[in-house]
Structure 1
Amino acid sequence: MNGRAAHTPDRLSFRVLGPLEVDGPDGHPLDLCGGKPATVLTLLLLHRNAWVSTEQLVDAVWAGRDVPASAQNNLKTYVWQLRRSLPEERIESRPGAYRVHVRPGELDADVAAALCDEARELLSRRDSAEAITVVQRALALWRGVPYDGLTADATSAVDRLTELHRALREDLADAQLLLDRPAEAIAVLRALTEEEPLRELAWARLMAAYRQVGRRHDALAAYQRARTALVRDLGIEPGAELTALHQQILSEDAAPVAKPVSSNLPPRVPGFVGRRPELRALRGARGVVTIDGMPGIGKTAFALEVAAASGLETQQYVDLDRPTSLPAATGLLILDNVEDAAQIRHRLTNDPDALVLVISRRRLAGLDRVAAITLDVLAHSDAARLTDVEQILSCCGGHPGAIRQLAERLRNRQPWTVARMAARFEDPAARSQALAELLARFDDVYDALPSPAQRLYRLIAMTPRFDLRQAARVTGTDRADAEIMVDVLMDHNLVTEPAPGRFEVLPVVRDHANQLLITTGPKAELVA
């Protein structure tokens, strides 16, 4: 490094969600000469970073009009004018074609799509207030018809962006309903249904919003308006979702009384992340569901998310580590820290409307269940939402409990202190000390293992990956005995099998096993 700041290319803001506008790096609009040069740039932006033939550009500039003999020369003039207006060499040329270079985040249409994805993610986590902020940022980008001035070339893009605009407004209404702001949601949804009376999803949301504030008559009237439009314009009756909602509202009393939820559930974990496929799999589930995974992997937090989405009015939580009488399973029952099926089998219900979530550190067998969920580590994208400290992410391997515990140690520290402390996490001894509370929870799992499996567990601290041949070699047994020990470790969620016959040990598990190897294992094991 020569001490000079690295060069940062000038960023532009291309705005096509309305009449074309381009802002320079300083935020001030650039003079694009308007007219035909603006049409040229608009078409290039439609096909950003791709080559556009001069014939296609000529057709767009003189759409519906006679093309003059000088069209190709005129086109060169328009490109020359644009190059003078835009900083850097943003418009490239080759024989018979041009293209405009657009960097990520410079085109408002791309920004709007990314904000829509971000809002959907926030809504899935029920972070409605932040979702509203993100949606409003996206909606503020619209100033009129997208790619204004283009005709047939832009039809597909205009349709896609128009649909994106509708979806954002529907997401806005969803977030407002979740925040118990139905009046605002109703205003948005009424506008949507007036603009597009054939959009059944908007009608269903409007009916739900009216229903939420007790305006049953308005909800039923909305259904009739939707049905009239569909029958008149399309010759079809409303779809299943709209019809079912209409029947539900008809069957309710004119002045429904909200049923209180009876619950002793502990609070949900703030900032819960990930587990979307598993949550989707249990949406609307009834019956017995087992949830297993290693200590700190987030089993109880996951069960509480399932409970929050269940809609069941009676919700009970029982921790079997604390002696208590088990209630009958009615509504929703969470049984935590279950050691084996015999503890709870006699308490399980045949009620088809009840949901029982059975949480255990080991994989349970012998239960009549509708689903079995084994929680694995978080994907990197989800783990990164818990911390932006790379040393934590690399040493925790996606284990949420470990990430949260190390991140908590760095909370409210100065940046230089964070860097110094995070660097220490690369040392196994320092990391184990920082994770002492979590690693202590693995002791009970280890104590429950038979002696041969305990020995293999201590020895696998030396390697993150192994196969049955290696397991047999380090334990001095044959492959058959080694396979039995590995199966025991897998049943206790201490080992995973990412590929047939290939086993893997998480960093957090290796840290615990390494402690045991040093403090309790015979010296011969260290030599081995």
Structure 2
Amino acid sequence: MRVRFGVLGPLRIDGGRTPGPAKHRTLLAALLLSAPERVPVGRLMSVVWDDRPPASAESVLRVYVSALRKLVDGIRTVPGGYLIEVAPDDVDCHRFERLVAGARQARAAGRVAEAADGFRAALGLWRGQALADIESSVLRRAHAVPLEELRLTALEERVELDLRLGRGAEVVGELRALVGAHPLRERAWVRLIEALHQAGRRSEALGAFQDARRTLVEELGLEPGAELTAAQQRVLYDTGRQPPYGDPERPAPGGRQPPQGSHQPSPDVVRPWGVAGDGRQDGGAVSDELPPDISDFAGRQPALDWIHRTVREQAPAAPVHLVLHGPPGCGKSALAVHAATGIDLPDGRLHAALGARPPGAVLEDLLRSLGCPDGAVPPALDDRIRLYRTMTARRRLLVVLDDAADEAQVRPLLPTGPGSLTLVTSRSSLPGLEAARAYELGVLDEDEAVAMLGGVAGHERVRAEPEAARRIASLCGHLPLALRIAGSRLARKPGWTLDHLAGRLGDERRRLDELSAGDLAVRGSLALGYRGLPDPERRLLRELGAFSAPDFASWVLGADLEPLAEAGLLQSRGLDEAGQERYGWHDLTRLYAAERLAGEDGGPGGVLALRAEAILERTRQARASLLPAEPGTGRTEVHLPGHDDPALPGDPALETGWLRHEARWLGAERRFLVATVDDFYRAGLYEAAWRLAFYLTPLFELGAHHDDWHATTAVGLDAARAAGHRRGEALLLRGLADLHRAEGRTEAAAAALRAAQPLAEGLELARITLRLGLVQALQAQP
């Protein structure tokens, strides 16, 4: 009989069965959340006993598993752990994630009503707080918190679709409850303001903005972000009220002119699409629209110097377009505002938050900011572009275009006036943007990172614990957004030491959870970039999340990784010693990719299993270039190129070049392959783990990489034993003996060879026995 399970609320088993005592419920929940993947025994012990398992934990765990098997079917023992065989749709959390993914696909295809219904169906699966009756804080941190974040995000996305369908009045009550429960989520406040505005309740919408601002200032010491401020501006000027919300082709009815600002263009009467007699565009005041500068801004002096130097050097006869690009959370927006605050051009400073907004919608806002009255904004995009170019042609403006998606979005928004300056922030370098100069932002250096942490948390606290401050900076990857969040948490928790926060951040499983304060979240910043990718690139990023290495080449996934670099989620590291394009990523991006892989694809096991064959074969070929083949150590006989390889017909020059290339390839891939041994082992791919560890031994021996040799041999031995592969264990023990002998530890080498003898047979036993004789001869020497 088909049984359904629920974890989106108290643990539930359909059919009226009682889940049992607390630890039994925790164990079952852990298996269901990871289904159908294996959960290692160590992980289960950590979950069931909340990171404090007793000495008898493993045997007690077997008792709990036995009890659960009497309650539910499908619990299986597998090497190194347990799993439950259950269809993903029979566990409500997996069904929820599938429905959310389907709703997003429908939205991307333009099926708005279908997408809204999909989100509604997904959210309808929730019966309360996820894992409501589970006591394990380890399990709740790892699963309940991400599920709750996905629920809130799905709710916000569904409300956005409801607004596009004209249902603003229907969702006001729901949104008031949401901001009441989560007052620091800026996006929820944005949706409430939009819903009230759409319902014709402008005064309440403006009151909601004031409530949001008061909450953010009191709780976080931060002014509202660009999206929240833009929502207030739409209410003030009564624009963008009609559904679909923000439609660029729909002129806003009944709006009013923005208030007067500090910059006063020509006071001539406005004539639609006209230019005043002095050559300036007709219009009223232009406001200084820059968001407030960050008072504790730290670092980035080289970037600021570059901006100011470029502005000074650029010919005054042409506009200047600068692109600040870099990965999510690196502080592009803050730098643009900080730099713009120090530049005063005579005709105004404008700011536009782009994101996924179409150019037409942004142009409507910019035209109004330039003084174009209601009724004068043309409905057609081409006409808006022409009007904007005319209005900016004789003005010296500073325009900040924040979070640009691509060149096509930016081109219509560039002012044309000589001496104007546009600062564009983007995750991409926007290489196709004509006449633009780009500056890549990376992470902060250590001193800048610590200074930024001190600026938010308090310099006295940082000076009191300098080592802990440096550790926090390192765990944040020197990423400005992460540092600001960490500092905000410390500022709100005066009783916390920096060492305490460093300890919490040290757990990779919950680091992204810790780096969240209100609506500021590293996860949210990364999610914006992820959601903006096409489906194939999203899958690529998730698949990379299966690997723990800090850098890699495209051959790993057999796909072009450049689109992810253009999106700012990977960083190009240039060509490695083997001539391959190499890519790296921020550690927090790696954690996010792994999290998405677990949430959408069930974890790394499938990806690693799919790629194991290619990784093993490529490494085996490189090994064969360094050592003669040993029959039976791979699936095919290995031969040296040039001996009977038709591609290299015995030419010594060609052979030498090929061998040199393979050695360079192994050198370039060493860190990746060492990390992948661990990845295979953690995923339960024991055969792949021990084989890869074995294939790497000549690289370690020739390069004297003894630390890597020790580490991979230890993991490889555990993997061979877990797989029950006696010959694999013997091969690795033989390699361990070679390592000990290279280190001058002949007694340890002899012990490893004696341990290998009972496991080997035939030719391999002869090799081991011969090595043991050589080691004993060395021991006998005076």
TM-score greater than 0.5 by the shorter chain: no
Which is richer in helix?
Answer: 2
TM bracket (short chain): 0.3 to 0.5
Task: Calculate the TM-score normalised by the size of structure 2.
Answer: 0.31
